[in-house]
Structure 1
Amino acid sequence: MYDLEVTQRHSMQSVIEAEICDLVTEFRTEIKSSNGTLTIRTTFILSVLNVLWCMIAGVRYAHDDPKLVKMLEKNFGMTKAQTFIDPVHSFPFLKKVFPKFLKTDYVSKVFEESHQYSQSLINERKMEGAYLQEPQNYIDCFLKKIEESKNDAKSVYTTENLQMMIEDFMQTGSTTSVGTLNYGVLFLTLNPKVQQRCQAEIDAVVPRHLVPTLDDIEKMPYFQATILETHRLGNIVPIPIPRVAPTNWTLRGYTIPKDTIIISNHYSVHMDEEYWGDPKTFRPDRFINDKGEFVQDKHVCQFGFGKRYCIGVTLTNSVIPIYIATLLQNFNFSVLPGTSPPTTDPELGVSLSPQEFSVHVTARP
């Protein structure tokens, strides 16, 4: 149901543009008051949540709006809870062996609160009634599908599934996008020649007073390669949610029985020395062919595979390139004078993200 291209590409662009312009203003204010020092950790979270929320519910909030702050609290709560339930997804027996360590009561409380919150949002859109004639956002589109398939007992369009989709968007969509943005700033800081080459390409395509669009970015092969290399080396989701074999099947001579839990390892694919040669090196040129064109590589699987690939792919593919391109258009990022370069070792959690780090930021002339 990707009526979600739904909220139309130009509409998404306008929301992202408004958010990144606000973020650029915040950066300018921050570096002016801190002598150019910027600490990167939760820098992007409110902005990304706002874009996500506009896509889901058609609303954009001020960054100090209580509703946005509440969403942030739910996001952190769900992320923390997910840290404890992820092992159970892969190894269900752990729930019985380590109930206290896995904080079963805490997890249940967080998810019950999240269910109540998502239900209240659905109720608001139902009461407004726009979904019946002109759906305005993801919730509206899903509600319309529920209405259209209400006589189909096998329909996947149910209120329960809509609730789960909203909660998945809130957690995975924002967490992975923020982690990737943080890695983008980190890798560009540590690789000034890559940063300068990206800036030159952006300047050649987009006038300085305009925010880059997705159409603009399609004309920037090296920048696209840089974004893909950020996904590869960042390894935001090294081990995605497990799958289950729906039937008995055979793969390369191995028999996989029905209902077998299958765990894929994206990290091993992204860091395969035999394929990449130098997997620990940040090298966007690996995705540029002899003609200077950007070449997508199926071995970069940051969104997973098949019908159940990452639900946040639309958000990530829109937010990441536009945010990073706009930041490079306006700022230079470098290691803080007199300090060691920040580490690329990740902070472990539901997804990987850089450890908190500080950079020196200057406005470009």
Structure 2
Amino acid sequence: MILHLIYDSFDFKSWIIFLFVFLLLVNMIKNKNPSNFPPGPWPLPFLGTVFTKMDFRTMAKLAEVYGKVFSLRVGSEKMVIISGYKMVKESLITQTDSFVERPNVPLFHKVFKAIGISMSNGYLWRSHRKFTAFHLRMFGEGKKSLEHRIQEECVFLCDAFKTEKGPFNPLAILNGAVSNTVASLIFGQRFEYHDECYQSILRLDTECVQLMGSPRAQLYNVFPRLLEYLPGPHQTIFSNYKKITNFLRGEIIKHREDWDSSNPRDLIDNYLTEMEKKKSDPQAGFNIEGLVITCLDVIEAGTETTATTLRWGLLFMIKYPETQRKVQEEIDRVIGLSRQPCLADRVNMPYTDAVIHEMQRLGDVVPMGFPKKAVKDTTLGGYFIPKGTAVSTILSSVLHDPNEWETPDTFNPGHFLTENGQFRKRNAFMPFSSGKRACVGEQLARQVLFLFFTSLLQQFTISKCPGEEPSLLGEIWFTYAPAPYRICVSSR
């Protein structure tokens, strides 16, 4: 009777208000933080901290307010942000087993489908990471070693620089050269820099990396079901990756036609062989779709980040010509001009090695790292992090930690040199992340950076174009990239 009277007394407006208040209470109860959860900005009902930019500069400002371990709420999903060397080391190294899995990030999940290497978990991830690491090691020691493949590409890279008669943007050439070191591992071949089909694939991938860092694209992570049917940058990302994966499937089909398990040419051949071996173990995930995504993983990890680091490197050389001159003096003294640089030279070139490390540190190419999640209830920095909570370790905060670097915001190769000029390692140098989820292609990237950089400065002096002053303020993509700039090169 009472309920009936209440019902009769409510008009349409009252019912709307009642429904809103009810949903608001449900949202508050559902998203209530557990005891001793990391602090953070106050989230909006239903939306969370959706208007907080998910970039490393914003994270640095929030860390000043809330501390090195704080939280955000993306829609209804909680995320813990970890910054500073001490706390990042605690999560990635000391407690690596607690944060070894990937969360379901809708923008990534749509493309990578939780298979392959980068976004998979559990037994499937361990199987694929072990396979890929073995493949990279095997080709590093084979008859045509990884070093030799990179040296061959150095020749093509330098020839491409020589053909440029005036000021030019090095982006396309560097992307093509770096991608060829990866292509030789995956496809057993390189692609000409003017190969329009392959260049279009690289442009599609670069566009994806650019768009993934935009707030509009990241909004898909908050409302994936809604935005699935609406236009936006996320649709361009999905369309581009569909074209890229179709290209990869085409290459796989070609490989299957003349595949010989006794004579593997590349990663695809080895994966096809692994598929045969693991037929009775479907949980390992070795199938055609797994091969497509694994190829995509290796391309993503080994191309854009390394090429962007080299672009930062060339930019630093034109901004700091005295540093470039010292590198060239060391190259002339150790290698000379009559032979190619090789990896064995690195130990005798501490200054060049320090410059390359400083390029990576200040370039800060992957500032936000890749998200992880807690696989069990965990305590970090005195705060409670429940099982399943997404965690983001801000690598930029490590590479710029004022407690670890003498001049954190300045290009200073001395960060990696002892008083007597010898190279020194730094624990806070984490451009490839660290722990069990560290970049599987780290060694490949390190080899490419050293051989490409020394080859270019062996043959050329890089300078800025007359009347142009490139900026050291980068652009926030999914990576952190230099703003477009042009260079002039002169043969030495």
Fold in common (TM above 0.5): yes
Q: Runs of 5+ in structure 1 lacking a partner?
A: none
Whether 1:42 and 2:176 are equivalent positions in the alignment is: no
Query: In the alignment, residue 436 of structure 2 is paired with which amino acid?
Result: K
Please name the residue that 1:330 is paired with. 459
> Which residue of structure 2 lines up, in the alignment, with residue 6 of structure 1?
138
Q: How does 1:75-114 map to 2 (within 5 A)?
A: 75-80=205-210, 82-83=212-213, 88=218, 92-96=221-225, 100=230, 102-114=232-244
Return the alpha-carbon distance in structure 1 between the equivalents of residues 226 and 474 of structure 2: 28
Give the whole-Å Cα distance in 1 for the aligned partners of 2:383 and 2:217. Answer: 25
Q: Is the 8 A contact 2:360 2:431 kept in 1?
A: yes
* 1:145 positional shift: 2.2
Q: CA shift at 1:267, angstroms?
A: 1.1
Which residue number in structure 1 is paired with residue 150 of structure 2? 16
Give, in angstroms, the shift of residue 86 of structure 1.
9.8
**Alignment CA distance shift 1:346-1:80 (3 Å):** closer
> What residue number does 2:333 align with?
204
Match of 2:483 in 1: 355
1:258 deviates by: 0.9
Amino acid at match of 1:26: A
Find 1:116's aligned residue among 246, 256, 262. Answer: 246
Query: Is contact 1:7–1:138 with CA below 8 Å preserved after alignment?
Result: no
**Structure 1 pair 336–105 and aligned structure 2 pair: CA distance change class (3 A):** closer
The superposition leaves residues 19-45 of structure 1 with CA deviations (integer Å, 9 ceiling, x where unpaired) of: 221222222231xx32xx343333311
For 2:236 and 2:319, how far apart are their aligned partners in 1? 39
For the 8 Å contact 2:432–2:438, the answer to whether it is kept is yes
What letter matches 2:160 in structure 1? E
C-alpha contact 1:85 1:102 (8 A) present in aligned 2 = no
Whether 1:343 and 2:471 are equivalent positions in the alignment is yes
Pick from 164, 168, 193: which aligns with 1:63? 193
Match of 1:25 in 2: 159
Secondary structure of the 2:173 match is coil
2:311 to 164, 173, 182: 182
Q: In structure 2, what is the equivalent of residue 318 of structure 1? A: 447
The whole-number CA distance in structure 1 between the counterparts of 2:276 and 2:215 is 33
CA 163–78 in structure 1, closer or farther in 2 if over 3 Å, else same: farther
Quickly say closer, same or farther: Cα 1:296–1:146, change in 2 above 3 A: farther
1:264 aligns with 2:396: no
Distance 1:115 1:290, change over 3 A: same
State the TM-score, normalized to the length of structure 1.
0.89
Give the distance between the partners of 2:171 and 2:304, measured in 1 at CA. 11
Secondary structure of the 2:487 match is: strand
Equivalence for 2:183: 53
**Cα separation, partners in 2 of 1:121 and 1:20, compared to 1, 3 Å:** same
Is residue 392 of structure 2 the alignment partner of residue 288 of structure 1?
no
The CA deviation at 1:70 is: 4.3
Shift of 1:155: 1.6
Matches for 1:165-176 after TM superposition, within 5 Å: 165-176=294-305
CA separation of 1:285/1:154 partners in 2, compared to 1, >3 Å: closer, same or farther? same
- 3-state DSSP of counterpart to 1:39: coil
How far 1:74 sits from its partner (Å)? 4.1
- Partner SS, residue 191 of structure 2: coil
Check conservation: 2:205, 2:241, Cα contact below 8 A: no
With over 3 angstroms needed to count, the CA separation of the structure-2 counterparts of 1:347 and 1:42, relative to structure 1, is farther
Per the alignment, do residues 107 and 189 of structure 1 end up closer, same or farther by CA in structure 2, a change over 3 Å counting? Answer: closer
Checking the alignment, whether the CA contact within 8 Å between 2:361 and 2:399 is kept in structure 1 is yes
2:270 to 132, 141, 144: 141
Distance 1:80 1:333 in 2: 26
1:202 and 1:291 mapped to 2: Cα distance?
19
Aligned residues: 357
Contact 2:173–2:193 at 8 Å: present in 1 too?
Answer: no
Residue type matched to 2:465 in 1? Answer: L
Q: C-alpha distance in 2, partners of 1:326/1:115?
A: 33
Partner SS for 2:292 = helix
Counterpart-to-counterpart distance in 2, 1:39 and 1:71:
19
Q: Which residue of 1 aligns with 2:3?
A: none
Deviation for aligned residue 1:211: 1.4
Instruction: Give the SS at the match of 2:488.
Output: strand
Partner of 1:159 in structure 2? 288
**What's the C-alpha RMSD, in Å, of the aligned pairs?**
2.5
Kindly indicate whether residue 427 of structure 2 is the aligned counterpart of residue 298 of structure 1. Answer: yes
* 1:259 shift after superposition: 0.7
Residues 84/6 of structure 1: CA separation in 2 closer, same or farther (3 Å cut) = farther
Q: Is the 8 A contact 2:474 2:483 kept in 1?
A: yes
Deviates more, 1:67-76 or 1:178-187: 67-76
Closer, same or farther in 2 for the Cα pair 1:158/1:248, shift >3 Å? Answer: farther
Change (3 A) 1:66 1:128: farther
1:38-77 Cα shifts (integer Å, max 9, x gaps): 4333331112222211111111222223442343244245
Deviations 1:119-155 (A, max 9, x none): 222222222222x212221222222222222212332
CA–CA separation in structure 1 for the residues paired with 2:308 and 2:210: 15
* Percent of paired sites with the same residue: 26
**Structure 1's 73 and 220: CA in aligned 2 closer, same or farther, altered over 3 A?**
same
Q: CA deviation at 1:238?
A: 0.5
Q: Equivalent residue of 1:344, what SS? A: coil
Q: Which amino acid aligns with 2:137?
A: E
Determine the C-alpha separation between the residues in 1 that align with 2:363 and 2:178. Answer: 18
Residue 63 of structure 2 aligns with which residue?
none
SS of match in other structure, 2:198: helix
- Mapped to 2, the partners of 1:224 and 1:343 lie a distance apart of 24
Say if 1:240 and 1:265, in contact at 8 Å, map to a contact too.
yes
8 Å CA contact retained: 2:211, 2:477: no
| Contact 2:416 2:426 (C-alpha < 8 Å) held by counterparts | yes
More displaced, 231-240 or 20-29?
A: 20-29
